[in-house]
């Protein structure tokens, strides 16, 4: 992030709990900050919100805007907003949706939440990192959107790993399967009969999950067969088995005749 700000022509001060880690940035033209609270716009990227508390300590933050891209729970972020406000500052929470090499590159975007006027004041600077996607005044929202995306990222890619591992036991090379995985990922986000991102969104919004042609009971049986295939092949089954139990629970709750989307009602009421 600091390198991206520098490359965009911004004046950048850097601070790290381990001072030597800032040396490469100093060599690129950054200034070494005396404290973590040095500056009007404080961009924080640490392992947790506790790290921000430890780094800022008792410093006053009067008139400062703190943009924190660290991870935490939504309630942690709301509490951090109050903590910053008590010290005279304003907290903007954020979650950047690319790995480090993607920062500042086309397609990068960041979820932001908190006071919109504070974000607007610094939008020109923050745009160097990525596109700004404002999701609301509630300081917990940026993390909720961020984590919603990561849940899809982790679970879908882990499923892809399971698929490759299963096929590998039959001698299928990963690159042979890749075109089918790419097609499925594209279809799920599209508008056709396999466009389940849109289909499930519409069903959830309406609270109706048609299953006449493709019931959850049928899908639960099919998922059971997939888990059995993984076990038969000697592949790890913890996550697929948990998914199987979730489907079976929804069926046991009396919704086996509805469609796949009905599983969200079991997710909402654990």
pLDDT at residue 232 in the model: 97
Instruction: With beta carbons less than 8 A apart as the criterion, state whether 66 and 44 touch.
Output: yes
Domains for the chain: give ranges and CATH numbers: 2-138 (3.40.50.720), 146-268 (1.10.1040.10)
Q: Is the pLDDT of residue 270 over 90?
A: no
For the residues of the chain, what is the DSSP string, one character each?
Answer: -HHHHHHTT---EE--SSGGGGHHHHHTTPEEPSSTT-SSEEEE--S-HHHHHHHHTT---TT-EEEE-----HHHHHHHHHHHHHTT-EEEEEEE-S-GGGTTSTT-EEEEES-HHHHHHTHHHHTTTSEEEEEES-TTHHHHHHHHHHHHHHHHHHHHHHHHHHHHTTT--HHHHHHHHHHHHHHHTSSSTT-HHHHHHHHHHHT----SSS-HHHHHHHHHHHHHHHHHTT---HHHHHHHHHHHHHIIIIITTS-GGGHHHHHH--
In this prediction, residue 61 has a pLDDT band, given cuts at 50, 70 and 90, of: very high
Question: What mean pLDDT, rounded, does the chain reach?
Answer: 97
Please state the three-class secondary structure of 48-109 as a single string: CHHHHHHHHCCCCCCCCEEEECCCCCHHHHHHHHHHHHHCCCEEEEEEECCCHHHCCCCCCE
- Judge whether residue 67 has pLDDT over 90: yes
Instruction: Say if residues 215 and 259 touch (Cβ distance below 8 Å).
Output: yes
Would you place residue 235 in the very low, low, confident or very high pLDDT band (cuts 50, 70, 90)?
Answer: very high
pLDDT classification of 37: cutoffs 50, 70, 90: very high
Cα separation, 178 vs 149, whole angstroms? 22
Please state the φ and ψ torsions of residue 29, each to the nearest 5 degrees. 115, 0
Residue 269 gets the label, from left (phi > 0), alpha (psi -120 to 50) or beta, of beta
187-214 tens-digit pLDDT: 999 999 999 999 999 999 999 999 999 9
Question: Would you state the torsion angle of the CA atoms of residues 19, 21, 23, 28, taken in this order, to the nearest 10 degrees?
Answer: -130
What lies within 8 Å, CB to CB, of 192 at 6+ separation is none
Residue 126 has pLDDT above 90, yes or no: yes
Q: How confident is the model at residue 261 (pLDDT cuts 50, 70, 90)?
A: very high
């Amino acid at each position: 992030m600091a390198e991206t700000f520098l490359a965009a022509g911004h004046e950048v001060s850097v601070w790290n709990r381990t001072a030597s880690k800032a040396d490469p940035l100093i060599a690129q033209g950054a200034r070494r900050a005396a404290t973590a609270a040095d500056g009007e716009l404080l961009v924080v990227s640490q392992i947790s919100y506790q790290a921000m508390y430890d780094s800022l300590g008792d410093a006053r933050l009067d008139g400062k805007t703190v943009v924190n891209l660290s991870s935490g729970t939504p309630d942690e972020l709301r509490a951090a907003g109050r903590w910053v406000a008590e010290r005279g500052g304003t907290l903007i929470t954020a979650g950047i949706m690319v790995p480090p090499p993607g920062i500042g590159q086309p397609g990068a975007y960041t979820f932001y939440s908190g006071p919109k006027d504070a974000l607007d004041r610094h939008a020109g600077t923050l745009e160097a990192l990525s596109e700004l996607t404002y999701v609301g005044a509630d300081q917990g929202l940026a993390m909720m959107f961020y984590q919603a995306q990561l849940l899809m990222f982790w679970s879908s890619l882990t499923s892809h790993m399971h698929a490759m591992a299963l096929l590998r036991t039959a001698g299928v090379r990963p690159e042979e399967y890749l075109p089918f995985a790419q097609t499925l990922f594209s279809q799920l986000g599209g508008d056709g009969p396999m466009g389940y991102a849109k289909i499930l969104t519409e069903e959830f919004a309406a609270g109706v999950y048609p299953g006449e042609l493709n019931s959850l009971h049928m899908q639960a049986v099919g998922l059971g067969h997939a888990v059995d295939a993984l076990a038969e092949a000697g592949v790890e089954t913890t996550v697929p088995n948990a998914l199987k139990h979730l489907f079976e629970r929804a069926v046991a709750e009396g919704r086996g005749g509805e469609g796949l989307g009905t599983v969200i009602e079991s997710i909402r009421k654990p």
